[in-house]
Structure formats: C-alpha cells, structure tokens
A and B are shown apart, each in its own frame.
Chain A
Amino acid sequence: MGPNISALEKEIGTDRFPPNERYFGLVNFGNTCYSNSVLQALYFCKPFRDRVLEYKAKNKKNKETLLSCLADLFHNIATHKKKVGSIAPKKFITRLRKEKDEFDNYMQQDAHEFLNFLINHINEVILSERPQANNRAKLTSDAGGGDNHSSSGGFEEPTWVHEIFQGILTSETKCLNCETVSSKDEDFFDLQVDIKQNTSITQCLRGFSSTETLCSDNKFKCDNCASYQEAQKCMKVKKLPMILALHLKRFKYMDKINRHVKVSHRVVFPLELRLFHLSDDAVNPDRMYNLVAVVIHCGSGPNRGHYISIVKSHDFWLLFDDDVVDKIDQSTIEDFFGLTSDHQKSSETGYILFYQSRDSSDPKVNSNDCRQNGK
C-alpha cells in the first residue's frame, strides 16, 4: 500500500466509503494503459461488472479465455480484503497478447480499438460456450470479428453483451426518383462521432444523423426503380443501448504527413444525455443517460501519450492512472473537454464516453430490453 492509497481512503472518509466497493489501480506492464483505462471504465459500468462477476460465479472450471481472465480480474478486485490498492492484471494481459497479434507487443495501442476488440471477443466467447452452440456460432467465433452475425439477430438469443451495449441504427434512404423510403438496420456496440472545434457531444451526434445526399459516383441502387438513383440517406437510432459508448474520432489521418494526428478540439460533454434524431419506431425514446466513465487520452498522437480514465462511483468521481487512484472534484471534468486553440499539440481529452441508461437498474426495463433483443 503506497502512501497515496491510504490518502484516498482518508479523502473519501472511512465513514463515507461505499460498502462493498473497491478502488484498485491496475499495474502497467509496459504501455498497457490503453487496456487499464478501458478495464476501469468497464468495471464501473455497473451492469457490465455485474454480468462479468455473475459469469465468474457460474463458470468455475472452464478453460481459460479472455473472458475468464477478465472475470478473474474483476472478481479479485471485487472480493479483495482491502478497500483500496493496486492489482496486476498479468493473466489478462498475457491472454490478450495471445488472442490478438496486434496487442502482442509493448507499443501504445488505441484504447478504442481495444474496447471494440474486447466487447466483440467476449461476445464470441459467450456464444461459443453455449451448450446449444451450433457450428455456425463456432464459425463466427473463429472469425474473431468482421463477421456480421449479430445483425441477423433473429436466429440467436442475444448475449448479455448485446443486452448491455447493443443498439440499432437504421439508415433510411429515400430515392429521389420514386420517393420510396427503404431502411436498413444495423447493430452497433458504440457510436463513432466526428468532432468539430467548440461543439458539444450533442452536436457531434447531430452530425451523425444529418441527412446526406447520395449523388454522382455514390448513387443509390433503388430496387423499386431497378437502377442507380440520387437519394437522401439519414442515420437514426432505432434502439438505444443500455450503455451508450461514444467514441470521439480524435485521431485524424493526414495525407501530407502520412500519419494520424491528434485533434484536440474542445468538445463538451454533459453529465446527462438524451438522444435526438431517433427513428419513429424507436424503443424507449425518453431514455436518459448518465455519464459513468470517460477514457481520456493524454498526449499528442495515437502512438504516444497515455490513457487514463475517470469514473463515477456512488456520488463522487475517481481518476484511475494505471496503479494510482485519486478522488477528483466533479468540476475538474471540464479539464478534459479539449483545447480551444490549435497552437498546443498535447492535450488531455475525453476519448471514449460511457453513458449508462438511468433506468438500467430497473429490472422491468431490463426484461423489456431482453424481449426487444429476442424478437
């Protein structure tokens, strides 16, 4: 126990320390902060943590998977005899490096790529471990990504990963010739949004669903007209996920210098969020989200710099910087919005935002969600 750790307990106050809660930093194994920051954020997405711990309780003697390693890690934190401290996610990182070549080195990785990989991979593990797992499911798990099985959703029971993270986007395309509107649904585990200087996440999401006209080389193949036509396309959210993960596209590829540069634009994000621009048949359009965690990128580029995360636990905010945990004032969140000037290259900016549905603790809504998924 380092001196800063006991300081944390002191700062929270032993009488105010939430019962059954643990705050553990994660040791860095050489540029593994991309993983540490995302794992902390996910640990404090309560529905996710609960399901992982539940998995641990139910699956005692399974063969080692990335999910079982994650479950062991979460279990170790949640059942630790100390309230605060640090823990080495050695088994998890070793397994991660075995699972995916891209992570099998000591380079800085992209936290969003890792999150994307982890969520999809866990989903595959759950599917492959199902007793009724048919060949088809095995196939998809072998593919390890790139497959689109979950969009067909109809033939398979959704996993709890779906229940937590999956939302549905519908792209409505209106042929400008025959005016027929066709829509196509696709699932998402997170939304990736373009950012602009001095905007809010609300505005960035608006850009996401702004109407675009498909014309010239990019015409739309209209089934009704049986030809390529000009059309208007618009993306709308049809099903709101329980946990809305928003990825701010802060790394932009620059042709001139042949690499990605960081975009430090100031993008404000509120502690509460609702979504505009839902499709007319959207499920639960009133859903209100609370910000529960933010993965923050510090530094000047995608391959250098550092990742940390801030999370909300009970009534206060904590900052996890690898093995160091600090209580922070809610007002310091604005330090992570970004920079209003382009002169400074390095910045500490929100990179992945985790919004949790306010009603996700309500079991009735949960079962509703399941039904929606299973329809």
Chain B
Amino acid sequence: MLNHERVTDDADHCEIMASSVDGAEEEDKLKTQFVIRDGTYKRMTLSEYSRPNRVAYTTNQGNTAVKVSFITLPDPDPSGYPERLCFNTGKELYVFVYKGVKKAADLTKYVDKKIYKGTNPTSHDFNRFTATLDSISLVVGFSTGPIQLFDPIKREEKDFKTFNEHTSIDKSKVTCVRWIPNSKNLFLASYASGHMYLFNQDLPCCISTPSYQILQSGEGYAVYTLKSKSPLNPVHRWVIGHEGSSVNEIAFSPCHSYLAVVSQDGFLRVFNYSTQELVGRARSYYGGFLCVCWSPDSKYVVVGGEDDLITVWRLKDRCVVARGDGHHSWVSVVAFDPFSTQLHSDEDTVQCYRLGSVGQDTQLCLWDITEDVLTQTNVFSVRTKTSNNNNNTTSLNNSTGNGTIKCHNNSNSTINHKDSGDHSTSHVASLTQRLAGFSFGSSDKSKSHDHNHHNNSHSRSSPNSGLSLADSTDPMRLIGTASCPRYDQCPRIEPLIRKKIAHERLTALVFKEDCFVAACQDGYVYTWARPGKISNQNSHLVAGTGSSTVV
C-alpha cells in the first residue's frame, strides 16, 4: 500500500535522476588525462603492459585481482632500464623489463612467463634485499594455498621452491605475500583462512598436519610456533580475528618496525613485528577492510574497504583521525605518493601527504591530507588530554605539540629500530628514508622477547588510545571510540580529483618518481606520466598527441 505510493514517487525521481545523470556523464567518462594543481597527468598508451597475445575482451577474467610488483636492480643496469615489473592475470604471471615513461613496452620480450594449471597466482613480492643484476627472488602465492619461490632472471630449476605444496599447512587462498624487510630468507604470507605464516626459504615444509604451540597472544590474535624436533616451515603461525575471517592485506612500515594487517572482520591491527605485540587497531565503519598502506614517515596508516571510505589512523595515539569519502564502491588499493608529499621548509616535517586510491568503481582518487586536517582537535585526543593534565584550555597547537612529544617517548620505548640508518637499500624512495630517519630517531633498543615487558608497554598505551573497550570486538561497542568514531565525529576529507581511468575494476596502484602505475581486473597495467614528464623523446607514447608534437 504505502509501497505503492513509493513506487509512483520513484517514477518522478527517476526522471529527475536521469537528467542529472546526463549532467554527470562527463565525470563518468573514461579519462586518458586529467589536470590537477600540479599539472597534467597523461596515460602513456604505448607503455601498457599485458599478456603478449591480447585476447578478445571476455568477462571470464576470474575473480583474481591483478597485482603488480616492482624491483629496481641495485647495480647499474647496462640497458638503462633497471626496473622489473611482475603482474598476474588469470592463471598467468609475467615479468617484464619496465621502461616506464621512457620507452614503449615490448610485450613480445618478457623476462619470464608462467602459466599455471588449476590455480591462479594471487600475490607476489620481489626480495629487495637480495636482488642483484643477474638474480632476483620472486615469491608468489596461489589461490589454492601453495607458495612458490623462484628466480625469474636465472630461471634455474634448482632455485625453484614450493611451500605448502600439499596444502597441509593451509588450504585457503593466499591473499598477500611480503618479504620481511631486509631479510634474505624470511617471508610472511596471509591467507583467506585468517592465518598468516612466516616461512623461511631455507627450511623444508612440515609434511604432515602441523601441530603448534602458543608463543604470544593478545586481544583478537595469537602467534604460534611449530612443535617439531628439527626446524621446519612454517616458522610462525599468526591467527588473526575470528576463525575464517580472511586477512586481506599486510604491510610493513617503511621504518620496518611495524606490521599492519587488515581483515574481513573489519579490523586494522598494527603489530610491533619483532615483539609480536598488538600496538593498536581500528574498526571499519562497516564491512571488511580490503587494503592498507603506511605513510612514508611511518606515522600514519591508511586503510580502505567495503564502507567505500578511506580511513586514516595515527600511530602515535592509536586514533582514527580522518575519513575520506569519494569512492562509489569498495576501495581496493590505497597508496601514499611520497613524491608529491609536501614538506615544511625545514624538510623535517610533513605539511601535506598525497594519497592515491583506486576501487571497484573503476576510479582513481587523489587525496591531499593536510596538516590542518590531522591537527584538528579530535574528540578522542581531547579526552586523553583532559584526563592527563586537567587543562581544557590548552590551545590546539600546544596540545598536539605535547601529544607528539609524549608519544615519541612512548613509542620509542617499544620500538626496535634495527633498520633505521641503514641506507644500503637504494631502491627505497629517498624521501621515505629521510622521513623514516628523523621520525623514529635512532634509539636502538635491543631486541627483546620478554613478555612481561610487552604487557607493560601495552597497558601503558591503552589509556592513551581509547582502547578501554578493547576487550570487545563488538562494533556496537566500538562505535564512538578512537578505533571507530561516528561518521560525524571525525574530520572528513574529499578527494582532490576523482577520475574514471579504466573500464574494469582497478586492482593495483604504485607511485613512481615520474609516473604512477595502475592495474585493472582485465589484465592491463597502465602507466600515467606525471606532469612535465612528457618530452619530445616520449610524447609518441601518449595517445592522440602525436600530431601536436614533432618527434
């Protein structure tokens, strides 16, 4: 009855909507270039990477997201193209020499190509620490559970290793594999089962069903080691959140101390990796968190997910400090752009972070996260302040200043800085290094596995973070806390730009010095030149500009 009224109402709505849709169509058109404050970004049509034999468009791409991994070979490459690109599409995996904005992609000349039967590669990572000009280690996870390790340059049978081959360790899909920073032989793999496993490439895998003993546990997670006489894989097993709630992505902080984990239960959990201690967490507004990344200075974690939002979380006070509202569907990748991040004149603190995100809405969003937003008085920070010094009238600048100092003390006491000051990894963005260097000082605390110590530091951090409700994962109890502010309780940011840059869902986004790279579910990896990066030498790589430029 009432619904009938509603139907007629809707008919009117429809017409109005239709006209507004027409108006918005320009916005929804596929873009090959766009302009922002910095200048014009252009898609380099001839720098597209895909499977060499392009197949007719089919919808049977499967549901495996196309991911990209990059490695920059450390020694000077005589060819002048030191970057290698790996991407997966369907059952295939390719490694190419990546020529970026400089030269067209030659799809017939791949470094390596693999076609798998009955399984899809889902995630991969190059080992940056061990890479040399003629040898790189690529670890690849699969939809059916196994993980492979091989060298796509040497391509020697003896270097080929498989882990969890008979899926006795885990039968679910590998969702993310990452090398432990600065490790020659350790990598961490997350699974759809909600588990993560630490593998050592030099150890054999446990053949039978592994039995574990507990090593460390905390709110909503536990870490186990394998019960066995001789050392075997997996070295560790992490159980995250509820049983069976997929771990969707993991990310090590640029300072190498922290591990951020996002999962289908809607939680971001940040661990001190070496002590395996939970440092803090955030809850999505609703739905799973799908992607995670760290700011170049390791101070912020940004996550995206099924609430169509990006959520900015601050490490120092374990607070959700902002949400970004711009995508029209789930956010599948978030990535900071360290090259467009603006520093203060003293070069030591960030004035404005640039963030990119892509989603299932086929759109790219670029965001400026300014100091203004990040220093806004947050209801949760205020509560902390008043409880600490009873001074409500502290000015904004003062209070955040205090917070920063206090927090540095706090965090330094629990962080291992085994890697700060290590500049041997030349491929890491220089800004990242610079920022990582200052923001975490050089307080080199010795590695400790003393559990009491961790428990102490954990309880010390909790009153500071609004984690008093931390004993519950119930979203109804978390709403309105620092882990999950109400929608109107935390600053909202809008994207700098929102552009449709593909026909299909976007699945990867990487920022490079002269371009950004975005991959799409249909198996294409696009290169977008940054403003001013197109010259006479490479203008022919851009669609439709040939006539205007003499080459």
Contact = CB atoms under 8 A, between A and B. Distances in A.
B476 interface: yes
Contacts of B12: 218
B308 A359 contact: no
Contacts of A359: 476
Chain B interface SS verdict (over half): loop
22 contacts: A116-B3, A120-B2, A140-B1, A148-B5, A150-B1, A151-B2, A194-B13, A198-B361, A198-B505, A200-B330, A202-B308, A207-B17, A268-B330, A270-B288, A271-B288, A271-B306, A272-B287, A288-B286, A339-B59, A340-B521, A341-B57, A359-B476
Contacts of A272: 266, 286-287, 306, 475
Contacts of A150: 1-2
Interface stretch (B47-55, B81-89, B311-319, B479-487): B479-487
A194 B17 contact: yes
Chain A interface SS verdict (over half): mixed
A270 B307 contact: yes
Contacts of B16: 212, 218
Contacts of B360: 198, 200, 266, 268
Contacts of B362: 198
Contacts of A266: 360
Q: For the side of the interface on B, what is the size category?
A: 35 or more
A119 B505 CA distance: 37
A199 B326 CA distance: 12
A340 B1 contact: no
A147 interface: yes
Contacts of B115: none
Given A146-B4, A340-B521, 7 more contacts: A200-B360, A266-B360, A270-B330, A271-B288, A272-B287, A331-B192, A340-B503
A294 to B, nearest CB: 15
A186 interface: yes
Interface string A328-361: 0001001000011101100000000000001100
B4 A199 contact: no
Contacts of A341: 57, 59
B153 interface: no
A37 B285 CA distance: 30
Q: Which residue among B63, B286, B480 has the maximum number of chain A CB atoms within 10 Å of its CB?
A: B286
A341 B4 CA distance: 32
B7 interface: yes
Contacts of B475: 272, 288, 358
A276 interface: yes
B507 to A, nearest CB: 12
Interface string A269-283: 011111010000000
Contacts of A203: 308, 328-329, 361
A194 B14 contact: yes
A286 B477 CA distance: 10
Contacts of A43: none
B476 A186 contact: no
Contacts of B514: none
B504 interface: yes
Contacts of A194: 13-14, 17
Contact of A198 (B63, B192, B328): B328
A322 interface: no
The 7 closest A-B pairs by CB, nearest first: A270-B287, A270-B306, A272-B286, A200-B329, A203-B328, A145-B1, A274-B286
B328 A199 contact: yes
A218 B5 CA distance: 17
Nearest to B480: A286
Nearest to B59: A341
A198 B479 CA distance: 29
Nearest to B264: A271
A105 B10 CA distance: 28
A142 to B, nearest CB: 12
Interface string B136-173: 00000000000000000000000000000000000000
Nearest to B5: A148
A137 to B, nearest CB: 13
A346 B192 CA distance: 30
Interface residues of A, number: 50
B10 A143 contact: no
A200 B308 contact: yes
B333 to A, nearest CB: 15
B6 interface: yes
Interface string B390-415: 00000000000000000000000000
B2 A343 contact: no
A298 B1 CA distance: 28
Given A218-B12, A334-B63, A148 B285 contact: no
Nearest to B19: A212
A344 B3 contact: no
A264 to B, nearest CB: 10
Contact of A340 (B2, B287, B504): B504
A238 to B, nearest CB: 14
A241 B429 CA distance: 51
Interface in B271-322: 285-288, 306-308
Contacts of A151: 2
A188 interface: yes
A86 interface: no
A146 B504 CA distance: 42
Interface string A178-221: 00000000111110101010111011000100001000001000
A150 B2 CA distance: 8
Contacts of B330: 200, 268, 270
A351 to B, nearest CB: 16
Interface string B246-278: 000000000000000000001000000000000
A149 B13 CA distance: 24
Q: Which residue among B3, B12, B476, B504 has the maximum number of chain A CB atoms within 10 Å of its CB?
A: B3
A218 B308 CA distance: 33
A203 B306 CA distance: 11
Contact of A199 (B288, B361, B486, B504): B361
Contact of B328 (A149, A200, A343): A200
Contacts of B503: 340
Contacts of A188: 2-3, 6
Contacts of B328: 196, 198-200, 203
Given A186-B2, A202-B308, A286 B505 contact: no
Nearest to A214: B16
B493 to A, nearest CB: 16
A145 B4 contact: yes
Nearest to A150: B2
Interface in B480-514: 480, 486-487, 503-505
Contacts of A145: 1, 4
A112 to B, nearest CB: 9
A286 B286 contact: no
Nearest to A273: B286
A265 to B, nearest CB: 11
Contact of B59 (A146, A199, A271, A340): A340
B307 A202 contact: yes
A274 B285 contact: yes
Nearest to A149: B1
Contacts of A120: 1-3
Contacts of B192: 331
B3 A288 contact: no
A192 B486 contact: no
Contacts of B504: 340
Contacts of A189: 2-3
A181 B342 CA distance: 44
B3 A286 contact: no
Given A148-B1, A187-B2, A200-B360, A286 B486 contact: yes
Interface in B352-370: 360-362
Interface in A73-122: 116, 120
Interface in A112-141: 116, 120, 140
B266 to A, nearest CB: 7
A146 B1 contact: yes
A27 B520 CA distance: 43
